[in-house]
Structure 1
Amino acid sequence: MPHMQPATLSRYLLHGQFISRHCLRTRSRIQVLPVTASPAPLVRYLHTETRESPLNAPAPIHVPLRKQLKDEAKKQKASGKKKKKNADNQVVDGWELTVGIEIHAQLNTAKKLFSGAATSFNDDPNTHVAYFDLATPGSQPIFQKETLVPALRAALALNCEVQPVSRFDRKHYFHWDQPSGYQITQYYEPFARDGRIHLRPRDGIAAEDGEGISIGIKQIQMEQDTAKTLAQPGDVHWIDFNRVGMPLIEIITHPEIHYPATAASFVRKVQALLNAVDACVSGMEAGGLRADVNVSVRRTDEPNAPLGQRTEIKNLSSFKAVEDAVIAERDRQIAVLEAGGTIAGETRGWSIGSTETRRLRGKEGEVDYRYMPDPDVAPLSIGPDLVAHLRDTMGELPDDVVDELTRDFGLSSKDAMSLVLLDGGMRVEYFWTVVSLLQSKLGIDAPEQHKACFLLATNWILHELGRLTAERSDEPAQDMGFSADGECLRVPAQHLADLISHLYKREITAKVAKELLWAVFRGRVPGEYRTVSDAIDGEGLWFKELSADEYAALADTAVRGQEDVLRQFVGAKAFPQGKLMFLVGRMIRLGQEERIDPKSAEGVMRERIEGVYVPAFKTGP
């Protein structure tokens, strides 16, 4: 196969290879049959069958992350140990924490980095494997140039300088998840350098970082992923080679983070940026992004001392795991040093719900990996026209969207951040669709005309939609079916906009609106009824509010027998709001709830107390 020659990547041709399609399983002792390549473009990687690991053994049961956390919380509670809240555990007096982070993100591409095999998540194991992925003798890497596009978008989103020429190196190590015995990466000359991300309080940084902190990114490099190992009972492992050669970027920060919460917020911000520019295939929750953290401590009374010996914690798979693992490793190192010990340079692991990190292996250094330029992969030349085009077409980044939502639509920073971060950015696209429909329905030219309507829409999109799956269904929230084009399979934007429009104009009550939302979620609209309005007509749900006289009569009925409550309003320095709402609640329960507006009921009850009931007590016997 010919080598790829350097070329400006704004002018490229695509190369491809056939994809293999056979399911494979293997043992951890790795007694493996030789790989043979058939004349047809099909790779079969067969492994020995043992009595301990039959090929027809059932796959391990996947335990959702949420259930793992709940189980660990129950164990912690049963043990009687109380864990200190992370918000109160950012600083240890007399010690300074320093954290550097390495993030591995899988690029959103159709092909692997050096072969034409398809990238795959949910297909059967070992169904997308090319000759080069298995290091078949005679096969060579062919750089798939389209993998560079999402990598460049990531670099630009992280404010990095794209290098005109970069090169690939071999990182040597031997393990069953790496068939070739080395990984192709960009160690010496990566494609992007010198980035920077600014974090604000709304990103969730530690309070000790004040109004914000800027974290430097040393470099971003492209590299291959390894195979996926599936642990089985009895010291048996199955290997899925679909993941070998998947295109990754590794994002390496400078050691400029000093608080655990800030470390977690940095990873969260990176994920949001990669999602916003469609660079990463998925987030931490789906395994498309993994973080390694390097942790060291030193005494604060020695400000000129070098940084302490660092340890690395590998493969953290959630934002909470990042914060918890940093806290645990910081505390472990401090305890060792205060006891007169020394910190060993090593790689450590972390399990969900743990309170301590665990040693995995001694830390390998550069000499162990024996990096060398890869002789089979040509230098990568990146044209400035491609970089300029991607920068011009990148669109809004999360911070710009949050600023617009808070400034123009009146959202709180917390709600705006939630919209942007949920469902990989698809929730905020759904919000824009609903807002556009509401503006058309209500004749709104500028958002500030009806901010209350958009705040109402935000509440329903963030909270009421979540309750559909949390309260009435065993289905997880991600099954709502949000899409990148701003739609939702289970609650189409048109129906939610109709519902919110009627609620905002007080044509239906909040209780009726929630029942209508449930009808949409379950397919009664469209279905039994074509639109939300048809459902309101068909069920007679239009809001016909009580008259002023009817409200007054209902208030008189509600206060009957409540003299002890009414006396607490006489001469009160501050209006007893809790007692007022108690009486309003009685009004709603005693009246026709479908005809009562709680705000109107509260106003009438307040007027009656101040104008009728309290004066009656003052003039009474």
Structure 2
Amino acid sequence: MLARSTRNTFIAAPGRPYICQTCLRRARRSQLGPAHPPTRTAIRSLQTKSQPPPQDDTPFRKLLKDAAKQQKKYNGGASSVLKTQNKGQDPRLEKWELTIGIEVHAELNTARKLFSSAATSVSEAPNTHVALFDTAFPGSQPNFQKESLIPALRAAIAFQCQIQRKSSFDRKHYFYQDQPSGYQITQYYEPFATDGKLTLYPHDFPPGAAPESGPFDIGIKQIQMEQDTAKTIQQPPSTHLLDFNRVSHPLIEIITLPQIHDPVVAAVVVRKIQTILKSINACTAGMELGGLRADINVSVRERNGQQSDAVHSYHGVTGLGQRTEIKNLASVKAVEDAIVAERDRQIEILENGGVIEGETRGWTLGSKSTKRLRGKEGEIDYRYMPDPDIPPVIIGQDLVDHLKETLPKLPDRNVETLVLEYGLTTKDALTLLFLDDGERLDYFIQVMEPLVEETSLQEEEDIPKSTLGKMAGNWVLMELGSLLKDEPWDANRVPYKFLASIISHVRRKQITSRSGKRILAMKFEGDERPVEDIVDQESLHLRPLSREEYVALAQSLLDEKPNMVKDIIEKGQSKKIKWFVGQMMARGAAGSVEADTAEETLKEQLRLKE
């Protein structure tokens, strides 16, 4: 690994423990080579000429393990802002307007780095996937890996950007230990994609936080390609270890326009960008695994526009307050909480007659305030210049057209299809979309195929696809989900045709739903028999009670619980009817009580008692 003490920085390599970085810097200045050259073994350890593409088994769309976790993440991040807004606890927000711009850095899903043939797969061993160019070794040259352009273009198309036929790379100069060359290669003057947008819908927001105005767009100024930096590991008091595996990993930077004025909206924007990138296989991992980071620009100004420092502009918007940038936020909750803290800090300074300084600030999860990291560099400080070693990138329209035609369906389209075509609620549709890296959604679609085919072959009329979809959604999410709550997803535990057969038997009233759940549990635990054999051998055929038997069973249960009956009738606690339904199914003989008939009978008996 690289280790930086208070005196020198060293790079370790097999065969020679350390190469003096001071000597390397002198060599670059003199162009005569390092004073202490590395051994041949060390050089070979940095070269990756013929490595095969790595097999990356990192989860592709892992966002939430279950719907409860998704809801918790939403509510946890939004709670403080929602309380403030809904209860009006902070009257200062009526005077001060918040403006937010977001820069999302996402690691592209590629086998090779942006400007070298070194692998991008995650490795526990530091400095094992490093080419000479990645460490700015004297004489090494960048070699643009054209394959890295494909996921970047998919992202630009998903965000409805204008793809530029010609783009170029520039050098952004700054000196820091994780940047071996002293500059970052990015696209400043000619990015490959511009003028996009992100549409937010009510279902993107946590409950109670969706704007009443319906869908609205957040503009995307541009998307640019750039290289990542090294990873720094601090060892107090004065040592920093550098892992160069991450250097030159291909990134895209998605830059929104400063059109966001609410921390909740900002958090939703970051989360939706992450969801879209994963759904089109553009990035390797989400924020939870470090594959996506967000920088947030925050400024406040008086709504009447009379504060003295409201003379700044940002991405074409003038009259803004002085902005600060919060770097490297690694979760959706951190985005919202950091914005709230920085907004309140700036308001307090301005109301006390102070001035906001342009600076870069940091945020630690659980903190109450942001902290200063350094003064904010301006564009002139970076000394942008075209990179003379990298030719322009020319993108053919035929490639763009092909990627548009083959682009996977975006999350919003999936939600629309699940709601309108398959009859699911928006909540269930979103849960299917996010569960188990999206595999649960694929499983649901597979379950639907034999169900739809069966109704068609048997010429069953008046069975809309939405009815079948509601049943299949309930079994996939609730019944199968309850068995999987403590285990990883595995579609082979209950093959989709087996679950479709259970649903079909229940729908055609050949077995009760209770028996169906029993069969599902038996298959989940390894029973190899088909559904028909289990039904026959376990005597699970539906033998429905008579009308009189249903009424007698319902009445006996209601008589046992007069207080619950009173709550239902007088207090309107209708959910307690479900408890009685469960008791009827539990007390009735196996395969004799249908839930719908039991509930209907209970409601009739309750009306007689009113």
State TM-score, norm by structure 1: 0.78
What is residue 293 of structure 2 aligned with on the other side? 290
What is residue 433 of structure 2 aligned with on the other side? 420
What is residue 596 of structure 1 aligned with on the other side? 593
How far the C-alpha of 1:608 sits from its partner, in A, is: 4.5
How far the C-alpha of 1:289 sits from its partner, in A, is: 1.4
Is 1:340 matched up with 2:374?
Answer: no
What is residue 554 of structure 1 aligned with on the other side? 553
Q: Deviations over 1:229-255 (max 9, x none)?
A: 334565554432221111111011111
Distance change in 2, residues 1:416/1:375 (3 Å): same
Is 1:458 matched up with 2:473?
Answer: yes
Which sits farther off after the overlay, 393-402 or 99-108? 393-402
How far the C-alpha of 1:555 sits from its partner, in A, is: 3.2
Contact 1:140 / 1:376 at 8 angstroms: preserved in 2?
Answer: yes
Distance change in 2, residues 1:171/1:581 (3 Å): closer
What is residue 480 of structure 1 aligned with on the other side? 489
Contact 2:46 / 2:131 at 8 angstroms: preserved in 1?
Answer: no
How far the C-alpha of 1:292 sits from its partner, in A, is: 0.9
Quick one: which amino acid aligns to residue 458 of structure 1? G
What is residue 55 of structure 1 aligned with on the other side? none
Contact 2:421 / 2:465 at 8 angstroms: preserved in 1?
Answer: no
How far the C-alpha of 1:372 sits from its partner, in A, is: 1.5
Secondary structure of the 2:94 match is coil
Contact 1:227 / 1:244 at 8 angstroms: preserved in 2?
Answer: yes
Contact 1:119 / 1:128 at 8 angstroms: preserved in 2?
Answer: yes
How far the C-alpha of 1:293 sits from its partner, in A, is: 0.8
Structure 1 unaligned blocks of 5 or more: 1-23, 46-63, 482-487, 615-621
What is residue 432 of structure 1 aligned with on the other side? 445
What is residue 421 of structure 2 aligned with on the other side? 408
Work out the percentage of aligned pairs sharing the same amino acid: 50
Q: Deviations over 1:267-292 (max 9, x none)?
A: 22222222232212222222211111
Which sits farther off after the overlay, 315-324 or 587-596? 587-596
Is 1:544 matched up with 2:546?
Answer: no
How far the C-alpha of 1:256 sits from its partner, in A, is: 0.7
How far the C-alpha of 1:392 sits from its partner, in A, is: 2.4
Structure 2 unaligned blocks of 5 or more: 11-17, 20-36, 48-62, 311-318
Residue among 361, 373, 395 paired with 2:386: 373
Q: How does 1:151-550 map to 2 (within 5 A)?
A: 151-204=152-205, 206-208=209-211, 210-232=213-235, 236-302=239-305, 305=310, 306-443=319-456, 449-470=464-485, 473=486, 475=487, 479-481=488-490, 488-522=491-525, 524=526, 528-550=527-549
How far the C-alpha of 1:38 sits from its partner, in A, is: 1.9
Q: Deviations over 1:157-194 (max 9, x none)?
A: 11111111111111122223222222111111111111
Contact 1:480 / 1:489 at 8 angstroms: preserved in 2?
Answer: no
Contact 1:158 / 1:196 at 8 angstroms: preserved in 2?
Answer: yes
Q: Distance in 2 between matches of 1:421 and 1:586?
A: 34
What is residue 12 of structure 1 aligned with on the other side? none
Quick one: which amino acid aligns to residue 246 of structure 2? R
Q: Distance in 2 between matches of 1:281 and 1:255?
A: 27
Quick one: which amino acid aligns to residue 251 of structure 1? I
Quick one: which amino acid aligns to residue 451 of structure 2? L
Q: Deviations over 1:466-521 (max 9, x none)?
A: 44444xx3x5xxx315xxxxxx3554433333333334344444444445444444
Q: How does 1:131-170 map to 2 (within 5 A)?
A: 131-170=132-171
Quick one: which amino acid aligns to residue 94 of structure 2? D
What is residue 40 of structure 2 aligned with on the other side? 38
Q: How does 1:9-88 map to 2 (within 5 A)?
A: 24=1, 26=3, 31-32=9-10, 33-34=18-19, 36=38, 38=40, 42-43=44-45, 85-88=80-83
Q: Distance in 2 between matches of 1:28 and 1:537?
A: 75
Q: Deviations over 1:538-574 (max 9, x none)?
A: 54444433333332332343355667877999xx799
Distance change in 2, residues 1:597/1:273 (3 Å): same
Contact 1:160 / 1:192 at 8 angstroms: preserved in 2?
Answer: yes
Count the aligned residue pairs.
542
Q: Distance in 2 between matches of 1:65 and 1:244?
A: 29
What is residue 95 of structure 1 aligned with on the other side? 96
Contact 1:37 / 1:44 at 8 angstroms: preserved in 2?
Answer: no
Distance change in 2, residues 1:131/1:397 (3 Å): same
Q: Distance in 2 between matches of 1:133 and 1:223?
A: 13
How far the C-alpha of 1:97 sits from its partner, in A, is: 0.8
Contact 1:43 / 1:131 at 8 angstroms: preserved in 2?
Answer: no
Q: Deviations over 1:118-171 (max 9, x none)?
A: 111255333222121122222111001111111111111111111111111111
Contact 1:192 / 1:221 at 8 angstroms: preserved in 2?
Answer: yes
Contact 1:529 / 1:535 at 8 angstroms: preserved in 2?
Answer: no
Q: Deviations over 1:360-402 (max 9, x none)?
A: 2221222332221111111111122221222222243222222
Q: Deviations over 1:326-373 (max 9, x none)?
A: 122111211121122221111112222333222222212223322211
Secondary structure of the 1:142 match is coil
State TM-score, norm by structure 2: 0.79
What is residue 19 of structure 1 aligned with on the other side? none
How far the C-alpha of 1:602 sits from its partner, in A, is: 2.6
Secondary structure of the 1:388 match is helix
How far the C-alpha of 1:414 sits from its partner, in A, is: 2.7
Q: Distance in 1 between matches of 2:373 and 2:410?
A: 38
How far the C-alpha of 1:106 sits from its partner, in A, is: 1.0
Quick one: which amino acid aligns to residue 558 of structure 1? L
Quick one: which amino acid aligns to residue 269 of structure 2? F
Secondary structure of the 1:43 match is helix
Distance change in 2, residues 1:449/1:234 (3 Å): same
Quick one: which amino acid aligns to residue 38 of structure 1? R
Q: Distance in 2 between matches of 1:447 and 1:25?
A: 70
Q: Distance in 2 between matches of 1:413 and 1:327?
A: 29
Contact 1:218 / 1:254 at 8 angstroms: preserved in 2?
Answer: yes
Q: Deviations over 1:301-346 (max 9, x none)?
A: 2289511111111111222221222122111211121122221111
Contact 2:46 / 2:129 at 8 angstroms: preserved in 1?
Answer: no
Secondary structure of the 2:415 match is helix
Contact 1:103 / 1:250 at 8 angstroms: preserved in 2?
Answer: yes
**Aligned alpha-carbon RMSD (Å):** 3.6
Which sits farther off after the overlay, 87-96 or 326-335? 87-96
How far the C-alpha of 1:298 sits from its partner, in A, is: 0.8
Distance change in 2, residues 1:111/1:561 (3 Å): closer
Q: Distance in 2 between matches of 1:494 and 1:28?
A: 62
Which sits farther off after the overlay, 573-582 or 130-139? 573-582
Distance change in 2, residues 1:568/1:425 (3 Å): closer
Secondary structure of the 1:89 match is helix
Quick one: which amino acid aligns to residue 304 of structure 2? D
